[in-house]
Amino acid sequence: MHDTTEQIRNFLQFITLQFISHPDEAQLMVSEVAEDHIRFRLVLNRADVAILIGRNGFTASAIRNVLKAAAIRESIKATLQIVSTEEEKLRLAAIESGEAVEQGYEEEVHDETDDEHLEEA
């Protein structure tokens, strides 16, 4: 599954850089939720979130459809969350204070090696 994860990560990095204006603020995090499920969390500047989601969510939907097609080909499930840096800070603060937990998933260990700033190739 590692090869598939890397391929999808590379795709998301490439496509994201085509849309966003603040790549220095972008982070792409990967979590293996289950043996056959990977979750990508894309944290962006608030303005970039709006651009990447697109009008009526069409851009994000198209990206997710390609992501899902690549995952299905490998018999796994892949999901993508797109959030702003502000939302991510609030989420992390709530988790640290015990006010919130990851919903729908087992508690995941945050691995610094999975955080990656998007950089132009």
> All domains of the chain, ordered by start, with CATH?
2-117 (3.30.300)
Q: Is the pLDDT of residue 109 over 60?
A: no
Q: Which residue from 42, 117, 111, 31 is spatially nearest to 80, judged by alpha carbons?
A: 42
**DSSP letter at 18?**
T
Of 32-36, 83-87, 113-117, where does mean pLDDT reach its minimum? 113-117
* pLDDT for the residue 110: 36
DSSP string covering 34-95, please? ETTEEEEEEEE-HHHHHHHH-GGGHHHHHHHHHHHHHHHHTT-EEEEEEEEHHHHHHHHHHH
* pLDDT for the residue 101: 64
Cα distance between residue 91 and residue 100, in whole Å: 8
Count of C-beta atoms within a 10 Å radius of residue 67: 19
For residue range 5-31, list pLDDT tens digits in order: 888 899 999 999 999 999 999 999 999
Across 69-95, average pLDDT: 91
Which has more pLDDT, 119 or 75? 75
